[in-house]
Structure 1
Amino acid sequence: MLMSNTDRPAKLHYLTNGFRVLSPGDHVVCAVTGRRIPLDELRYWNATRQEAYADAQATAQVLAPQ
Protein backbone atom coordinates (compact mmCIF):
# COMPACT_ATOMS: atom_id res chain seq x y z
CA MET A 1 0.00 0.00 0.00
CA LEU A 2 1.34 3.44 -0.95
CA MET A 3 1.56 5.95 1.85
CA SER A 4 1.00 9.64 1.23
CA ASN A 5 3.55 12.20 2.39
CA THR A 6 0.79 14.72 3.04
CA ASP A 7 0.68 16.01 6.59
CA ARG A 8 3.78 14.03 7.51
CA PRO A 9 7.00 15.65 8.76
CA ALA A 10 10.07 14.90 6.67
CA LYS A 11 13.38 13.96 8.25
CA LEU A 12 16.22 15.84 6.58
CA HIS A 13 19.99 15.96 6.81
CA TYR A 14 20.95 19.62 6.40
CA LEU A 15 24.05 20.37 4.35
CA THR A 16 25.79 23.70 3.78
CA ASN A 17 24.16 24.29 0.40
CA GLY A 18 21.11 22.06 0.55
CA PHE A 19 19.58 19.13 2.31
CA ARG A 20 19.07 15.43 1.79
CA VAL A 21 15.73 13.76 2.50
CA LEU A 22 16.20 10.85 4.91
CA SER A 23 12.50 10.17 5.43
CA PRO A 24 9.85 11.55 3.05
CA GLY A 25 7.27 14.05 4.19
CA ASP A 26 5.76 17.37 3.17
CA HIS A 27 7.14 19.68 5.88
CA VAL A 28 9.62 20.27 8.69
CA VAL A 29 9.12 22.18 11.94
CA CYS A 30 10.91 25.44 12.76
CA ALA A 31 13.29 24.97 15.72
CA VAL A 32 12.50 28.46 17.04
CA THR A 33 8.80 29.09 16.37
CA GLY A 34 7.42 25.57 16.03
CA ARG A 35 5.77 26.56 12.74
CA ARG A 36 5.38 24.01 9.96
CA ILE A 37 7.53 24.79 6.93
CA PRO A 38 6.52 23.15 3.63
CA LEU A 39 9.62 21.65 2.02
CA ASP A 40 9.17 23.76 -1.11
CA GLU A 41 9.34 26.90 1.09
CA LEU A 42 12.33 25.85 3.22
CA ARG A 43 15.06 28.48 2.80
CA TYR A 44 16.76 28.72 6.20
CA TRP A 45 18.58 26.03 8.19
CA ASN A 46 21.73 25.43 10.17
CA ALA A 47 23.83 22.48 9.03
CA THR A 48 25.86 22.40 12.26
CA ARG A 49 22.81 22.34 14.52
CA GLN A 50 20.71 20.30 12.06
CA GLU A 51 17.77 22.68 12.54
CA ALA A 52 15.30 24.33 10.18
CA TYR A 53 14.01 27.89 10.57
CA ALA A 54 10.79 29.44 9.28
CA ASP A 55 12.33 32.76 8.24
CA ALA A 56 15.32 35.08 8.56
CA GLN A 57 14.03 36.51 11.85
CA ALA A 58 13.92 33.04 13.45
CA THR A 59 17.44 32.37 12.15
CA ALA A 60 18.67 35.66 13.66
CA GLN A 61 17.27 34.68 17.07
CA VAL A 62 19.48 31.60 17.09
CA LEU A 63 22.57 33.42 15.85
CA ALA A 64 22.21 36.50 18.10
CA PRO A 65 24.79 36.68 20.89
CA GLN A 66 23.33 36.02 24.34
Structure 2
Amino acid sequence: MLMSNTQRAARLHYMANGFRVLSPGDHVICAVSGEAIPLDRLRYWSVAEQKPFASAEIAVRALGA
Protein backbone atom coordinates (compact mmCIF):
# COMPACT_ATOMS: atom_id res chain seq x y z
CA MET A 1 0.00 0.00 0.00
CA LEU A 2 1.35 3.43 -0.96
CA MET A 3 1.11 6.20 1.58
CA SER A 4 0.46 9.81 0.65
CA ASN A 5 2.75 12.56 1.94
CA THR A 6 -0.10 15.08 1.93
CA GLN A 7 -0.43 17.05 5.13
CA ARG A 8 2.61 15.38 6.65
CA ALA A 9 5.68 17.27 7.85
CA ALA A 10 8.96 16.12 6.33
CA ARG A 11 12.18 15.75 8.30
CA LEU A 12 15.15 17.23 6.45
CA HIS A 13 18.92 17.52 6.77
CA TYR A 14 19.89 21.03 5.63
CA MET A 15 23.11 21.46 3.67
CA ALA A 16 24.80 24.50 2.11
CA ASN A 17 23.28 24.00 -1.35
CA GLY A 18 20.17 21.98 -0.64
CA PHE A 19 18.61 19.49 1.70
CA ARG A 20 18.21 15.75 2.04
CA VAL A 21 14.86 14.20 2.97
CA LEU A 22 15.18 12.02 6.07
CA SER A 23 11.44 11.37 6.49
CA PRO A 24 9.03 12.01 3.61
CA GLY A 25 6.38 14.70 3.78
CA ASP A 26 5.05 17.65 1.82
CA HIS A 27 6.15 20.53 4.08
CA VAL A 28 8.31 21.69 6.99
CA ILE A 29 7.41 24.09 9.80
CA CYS A 30 9.12 27.49 10.04
CA ALA A 31 11.29 27.60 13.18
CA VAL A 32 10.09 31.13 14.01
CA SER A 33 6.56 31.66 12.71
CA GLY A 34 5.24 28.10 12.86
CA GLU A 35 4.02 28.46 9.26
CA ALA A 36 3.90 25.35 7.08
CA ILE A 37 6.35 25.71 4.16
CA PRO A 38 5.75 23.43 1.15
CA LEU A 39 9.03 21.71 0.19
CA ASP A 40 8.90 23.15 -3.32
CA ARG A 41 8.84 26.68 -1.83
CA LEU A 42 11.51 26.16 0.85
CA ARG A 43 14.36 28.62 0.16
CA TYR A 44 15.75 29.69 3.54
CA TRP A 45 17.33 27.62 6.29
CA SER A 46 20.24 27.51 8.72
CA VAL A 47 22.78 24.75 8.12
CA ALA A 48 24.37 25.30 11.54
CA GLU A 49 21.07 25.24 13.44
CA GLN A 50 19.24 22.85 11.08
CA LYS A 51 16.14 25.08 11.05
CA PRO A 52 13.89 26.19 8.16
CA PHE A 53 12.53 29.73 7.75
CA ALA A 54 9.44 30.90 5.85
CA SER A 55 11.05 34.04 4.37
CA ALA A 56 14.33 35.89 3.97
CA GLU A 57 13.16 38.52 6.47
CA ILE A 58 12.44 35.89 9.12
CA ALA A 59 15.79 34.18 8.49
CA VAL A 60 17.74 37.43 8.80
CA ARG A 61 15.98 38.33 12.05
CA ALA A 62 16.42 34.84 13.51
CA LEU A 63 20.10 34.60 12.60
CA GLY A 64 20.91 38.14 13.71
CA ALA A 65 22.46 39.14 10.37
Bin of the TM-score, shorter chain as denominator length? over 0.9
Task: Quote the offset at 1:16 in angstroms.
Answer: 0.7
Where does residue 62 of structure 1 map in the other structure? 62
Asked if 1:17 is matched to 2:24, the reply is: no
Within 2, Cα distance between the matches of 1:12 and 1:21?
Answer: 5
- Report how many residues are paired: 65
Which residue in the other structure is 1:2 paired with?
2
**What is the DSSP-based 3-state SS (H/G/I as helix, E as strand, rest coil) of the residue aligned with 1:57?**
helix
Flag structure 1 segments of 5+ consecutive residues without an equivalent.
Answer: none
TM-score normalised by length of structure 2: 0.95
CA deviations over 1:3-52 (Å, ceiling 9, x no partner): 10000000000001100001110000000100000000000000110000
* Aligned AA (2:59): T
Q: What residue ranges of structure 2 are gaps of 5+ in the alignment? A: none
Structure 1 runs of 4+ aligned residues shifted over 6 Å read none
Identity of aligned residues (%): 60
Cα RMSD, aligned residues only: 1.0
